[in-house]
């Protein structure tokens, strides 16, 4: 896991490729979470780890007053082009630059696993939510039910071992973090998010823009990283040459 200073450059290195290939994959997770948070009209909504702003756009379409924060300046720059009226900042999820009770909803998708302390990040989310407000966390589901975990496992096998905290994708982990921040679980569900792309080149262009892949490329070189990716992906190649990986994500909502 890493801080914003570590993660920002990784995720900001190839933003346009990430937006084109990867961003659509988790739109079902965003949509399902926002539907569970409805109604949002007039609500103050923060997305911590907002990336290029896709979830915030959906929230704004539902009438929310949106604010976003991300570690990667290039991501925030893209979000500003999409949401020119929103308050969008570069910053650290563990030390959100907002006062207590600033929001009715604070949400974070696929971000906590990159925080130096996921518990501190959830505490920060809880702090900025008003009493009666809600914190929503969206995350990869059980790794055993995510085809893409095969790819990540292959890459990890080629990297030097590093100390990691417990996975927050295992069942009950998100709930434990939220309850540890004195929040009360109110809702949650699984959401299918298949990863599809027409060919290996497209898949690599998107995935090589993702933080863990950037680390692998810097460590073992682009050729070795791409070869490992291609080998791990082979079981998911379809008869027409496209690729499809079935993945399960989940969201959990808790009240303050």
Residue 31 tokens read as: 């949509």
The SS3 assignment for 249 reads strand
The reported pLDDT for the residue numbered 1 is 42
Under 8 Å between Cβ of 30 and 55? yes
The reported pLDDT for the residue numbered 240 is 98
The reported pLDDT for the residue numbered 162 is 62
Instruction: Enter the pTM of the model.
Output: 0.93
The SS3 assignment for 42 reads coil
Fold of 4-143+163-195+246-255: Rossmann fold (3.40.50)
Sign of dihedral through CA atoms 152, 111, 28, 205?
negative
> Nearest 5°: phi and psi at 246?
-85, 130
Distance, in Å, from the CA atom of 216 to the CA atom of 50, rounded to the nearest integer, reads 23
> Nearest 5°: phi and psi at 66?
-105, 145
The SS3 assignment for 40 reads coil
CB within 8 Å of 61: residues ≥ 6 apart? none
Contacts 24+ apart (CB under 8 A), 115-121: 115/1, 115/3, 116/1, 116/2, 116/3, 117/1, 118/1, 118/165, 118/168, 118/177, 119/177, 119/180, 119/181, 120/94, 121/48, 121/93, 121/94
Residue-range domain boundaries for the chain = 4-143+163-195+246-255
Detail the DSSP E strand segments found in 19-86. 44-48, 65-70
* Residues lower than pLDDT 70 in the chain: 1-3, 162-166
Start-to-end Cα distance in the chain: 27
Number of Cβ within a 10 Å radius of residue 92: 20
Cis, peptide link before residue 39, omega less than 30° from 0: yes
Distance, in Å, from the CA atom of 45 to the CA atom of 37, rounded to the nearest integer, reads 10
């Amino acid at each position: 896991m890493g801080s914003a200073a570590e993660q920002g450059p990784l995720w900001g290195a190839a933003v346009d490729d990430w937006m084109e290939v990867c961003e659509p994959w988790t739109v079902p997770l965003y949509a399902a979470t926002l539907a569970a948070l409805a109604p949002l009209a007039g609500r103050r909504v923060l997305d911590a780890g907002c990336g290029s702003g896709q979830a915030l756009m959906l929230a704004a379409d539902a009438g929310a007053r949106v604010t976003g924060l991300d570690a990667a300046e290039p991501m925030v720059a893209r979000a500003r082009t999409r949401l020119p009226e929103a308050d969008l900042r570069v910053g650290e999820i563990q030390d959100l630059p907002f006062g207590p009770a600033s929001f009715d909803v604070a949400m974070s998708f696929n971000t906590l696993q990159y925080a130096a302390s996921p518990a501190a990040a959830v505490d920060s989310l809880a702090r900025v939510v008003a009493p009666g407000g809600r914190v929503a966390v969206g995350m990869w589901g059980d790794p055993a039910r995510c085809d893409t975990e095969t790819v990540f496992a292959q890459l990890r096998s080629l990297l030097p071992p590093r100390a990691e905290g417990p996975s927050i994708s295992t069942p009950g982990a998100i709930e434990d973090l939220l309850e540890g921040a004195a929040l009360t679980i109110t809702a949650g569900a699984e959401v299918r998010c298949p990863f599809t792309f027409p060919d290996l080149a497209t898949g690599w262009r998107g995935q090589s823009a993702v933080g863990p892949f950037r680390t692998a490329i810097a460590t073992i070189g682009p050729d070795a990283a791409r070869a490992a990716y291609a080998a791990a992906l082979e079981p998911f190649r379809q008869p027409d040459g496209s690729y499809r990986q079935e993945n399960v994500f989940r969201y959990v909502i808790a009240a303050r």
